[in-house]
Amino acid sequence: GDSVTQMEGPVTLSEEAFLTINCTYTATGYPSLFWYVQYPGEGLQLLLKATKADDKGSNKGFEATYRKETTSFHLEKGSVQVSDSAVYFCALPSYTSGTYKYIFGTGTRLKVLA
Amino acid sequence: DTAVSQTPKYLVTQMGNDKSIKCEQNLGHDTMYWYKQDSKKFLKIMFSYNNKELIINETVPNRFSPKSPDKAHLNLHINSLELGDSAVYFCASSQEGQGRKYTEAFFGQGTRLTVV
C-alpha cells in the first residue's frame, strides 16, 4: 500500500543554517504531495504542495521538488529562523474506498536556536 | 472566519466517562475526517465521511462513534473512555478537485483529550 517515510528528528539547527528534511514515498500513480507544519500547541497548516512530477512547491522560504525518479519530496530552506521551530509532516493522499485519506510521515521536529 | 473549527480545545475526563467533540467546516467541502495524533506526534486517520456517509473506518474501537448530521458537521462521540484514548484529535475537511485530483485538507486546531 501507499506509504511515506520521513527522516526522524529532532533536528536542531542554529539560526540561518540550511535545512533539509527528507521524505520519500511509495504510491500507486502520481499523487499530489504535501508538507504540513504544526507549530507548538496548534493544528496542522499546509506549508506547500506539488501536484505533479518536477513541480516545485514553495512558501515562506521553504521549497520542495516532486521527484518521480527518486520518489522523493524533500523539504528545504536556505536560512532557518527561530520562528520555524515546529513539527513538519510530509503527506500523501491515498485513494481508497472511493475517497482520499492522508498518509502522513512520522513528523520531524525542528528546533532552531538563536 | 475559521474554516474548520472544533470544540472543545481541551478535554480532561475520568476513565469510563462518555464525551463528545464537535467539528464544523464552512468551506463547503464534501468530505470530513477525524485524525488521531498520539504522544509521539504520529497522525493516523480514524474516519472519513463524504456527504454525511461513512466511507472510511480505520479499525477504530466501537466505543468511537462519529456522527454527521449534515455535510458541514462531523462530531465524534467516545464511550467508556480509557487511558489509551488520551491524544489530540483533529478534524479536517477536503474537496476532490477536477479529474479526481486531490487538493488539500484543512485542519481544525485539535482537541487535546486527557483521560485520568
Interchain contact, B56 vs A97, CB within 8 Å:
yes
**A35 contacts A28 by C-beta, under 8 angstroms:** no
A99 in contact with chain B, both atoms CB, cutoff 8 A:
yes
* Nearest residue in chain A measured CA to CA from B34: A101
The set of residues, in sequence order, having a beta carbon less than 8 Å from that of B59 and lying 6+ positions away, is none
Residues B58 and A31: their CA atoms lie apart, in Å, by 21
Q: What cell was used for A23?
A: 521524505
* pLDDT tens digits, one per residue of B3-48: 999 999 999 999 999 999 999 999 999 899 999 999 999 999 999 9
Q: What is the pLDDT of residue B99?
A: 59
Chain B residues whose C-beta is within 8 A of a chain A C-beta are 31, 33, 35, 40-45, 48, 50, 55-56, 58, 90, 92, 94, 96, 100-110
A100-108: average pLDDT:
91
Three-point CA angle B46, A44, B76, nearest 5°: 35
| Short-list B1, B2, B5, CA closest to B73 | B5
CA dihedral B95, A50, A92, A16 (to 10 degrees): -120
Beta bridge partners of A102: A93
Three-point CA angle B112, A96, B109, nearest 5°: 20
Element (H, E) at A63: strand A62-65
Interchain contact, B107 vs A45, CB within 8 Å:
yes
Q: Is the pLDDT of residue B107 over 80?
A: yes
Of B55, B58, B103, the CB nearest to A99: B55
Q: Side by side, which strands form the sheet with A19-21?
A: A19-21, A75-77, A62-65, A56-59
Interchain contact, B90 vs A32, CB within 8 Å:
no
Kindly give the pairing relationship between strand A108-113 and strand A11-14: parallel
**B21 contacts B112 by C-beta, under 8 angstroms:** no
The pair phi, psi for residue A79, each rounded to 5°, is -150, 100
pLDDT grade for B1, boundaries at 50, 70 and 90: low
The one-character DSSP state at B80 is: S
Handedness of CA B76, B21, B106, A76 (dihedral sign): negative
Of B31, B41, B109, the CB nearest to A43: B109
Q: Measured between alpha carbons, how far is residue B78 from residues B43, B44, B102, B109 in Å?
A: 18, 17, 30, 19
A97 in contact with chain B, both atoms CB, cutoff 8 A:
yes
Interchain contact, B43 vs A109, CB within 8 Å:
no
B80-108: average pLDDT:
86
Probe site for chain B from A89, A96, A102, A109 (most B CB atoms < 10 A): A102
* pLDDT tens digits, one per residue of A37-87: 999 988 999 999 999 899 999 999 999 999 999 999 999 999 999 999 999
